[in-house]
Amino acid sequence: MLMPKRVKFRKQQRGWMGGVATRGSTISFGDFGLKALECGYMTSIQLEAARVALTRHIKRGGKVWIRVFPDKAYSKKPAETRMGKGKGAPEYYVVVIKPGRLIFEMGGLPEALAKAALRLCAHKLPFRTKFVIRGEVQ
């Protein structure tokens, strides 16, 4: 499970998720990619599940790049706890996904195999995505 080695502050505020991604919105490394169409939080567990589904389908062929990293602490208060008494402890780490952000990139394999693998991968994610190809207008 991905998480930062160390952080400056243990707890973070939730922040604002509006707008579209300007960074990380074009294919830089591979030939095919999986692009987010909605905003949301993606946990490190969801990211790992998507990566496993992707790599199992391509069976050691091609190369995969993960373009996001979960570096935002997501805190929760325990169940059946009364109000007050401060903020809860960090439960897991998330990455903030905005529309247009590339999540995975792939290269070195045929388009049909890449599309099938990224479709399986997309089922593990909590927002809508689309398959993109290098050089095409998205």
Domain boundaries, the chain: 32-77+90-133
CATH 3.90.1170.10 fits domain 32-77+90-133: yes
> pLDDT tens per residue, the chain (138 residues)?
889 999 999 999 998 888 999 899 999 999 999 999 999 999 999 999 999 999 999 998 899 999 999 999 999 999 999 999 999 999 999 999 999 999 999 999 999 999 999 999 999 999 999 999 998 766
Secondary structure (H, E, C), the chain: CCCCCCCCCCCCCCCCCCCCCCCCCCCCCCCEEEEECCCEEEEHHHHHHHHHHHHHHHCCCCEEEECCCCCEEEEECCCCCCCCCCCCEEEEEEEEECCCCEEEEEECCCHHHHHHHHHHHHCCCCCCEEEEECCCCC
